[in-house]
Amino acid sequence: MPNYLSIDTSAHASVALVDSTTGSVIAQKTSPKGNDQTETLASYVRDLLAENNEEGRNLTGIFVGVGPGPFTGLRVGLVASRTFSFVWNVPVHGVMSLHALAERVLATGNVPEEFIVASDARRKEVYWARYDQAGQIVDGPHVASASTLPELPVYGVGAGIYAEQLRDAGAEPQEESFDWIADAANLAQRGMRDLVAGKDLSDTAPQYLRESDAQVPAFMKQAKA
């Protein structure tokens, strides 16, 4: 049965092979580190396909997390997914990475009327979005200090890192989710639901939400001018 390959590098390098009919996860690999996407992603995809007797050209398609996330890590997953799509001649679908966290909240079966998911944006900030009980996005994505988030339940690793600030602001960080990052399996399951609902996932443009830390030196700008 044809499968989907799913890739997310908005937090850690995460890849998954998901049954395109049932949505069940066949296999998954996620790096324990958040800064090795360049070193690990290609080998994760190669090994995942080989270990499950899958060939890229036989895939139903590819899901890729479009962020928000840091420049370098996010770009690795997007470039790889577009390249695989071209080489294997299979479609690639862009899914916001925060949707993967929302999907994990839905899987708990105990979903608040509205909730927030938050990932680590560094610089003492979080990437966040607000969802309703059905997992549909209500607001976001944004990047901001945790102390500015709405007074709602907050899920994800961002809630763990900034639990104190969130509580001081009246929000409710959910402790069971303090190690949750966007992972490829949840991303694929959300992508499949969105495709069934008729949503257009053709856009794979990255959602950075802020400017890169790398800036063009002043003398280069002057020379160019």
What domain range is 15 assigned to? 3-96+182-196
- At 220 the pLDDT is 45
Q: Are residues 71 and 116 in the same domain?
A: no
Instruction: Kindly report the pTM of this predicted structure.
Output: 0.92
141: domain CATH number? 3.30.420.40
Number of domains in the chain: 2
Q: Are residues 88 and 14 in the same domain?
A: yes
Tokens of 29: 């690999």
- At 190 the pLDDT is 98
- At 222 the pLDDT is 54
Residue 219 domain-assigned (yes or no): no
Q: What are phi and psi of 45, to 5 degrees?
A: -65, -45
Q: pLDDT (tens digit, 0 to 9) for every residue of the chain, 225 residues total?
A: 699 999 999 999 999 999 999 999 999 999 999 899 999 999 999 999 999 999 999 999 999 999 999 999 999 999 999 999 999 999 999 999 999 999 999 999 999 999 999 999 999 999 999 999 999 999 999 999 999 999 999 999 999 999 999 999 999 999 999 999 999 999 999 999 999 999 999 999 999 997 655 444 444 445 545
Q: Are residues 87 and 7 in the same domain?
A: yes
Q: Are residues 189 and 137 in the same domain?
A: no
- At 211 the pLDDT is 66
Q: Are residues 54 and 112 in the same domain?
A: no
- CA distances to 157, 163, 212, 220 from 224, in Å: 42, 46, 20, 6
Residue 116 domain-assigned (yes or no): yes
Q: Are residues 192 and 111 in the same domain?
A: no
Q: Are residues 137 and 190 in the same domain?
A: no
Q: Are residues 8 and 77 in the same domain?
A: yes
Q: Are residues 92 and 188 in the same domain?
A: yes
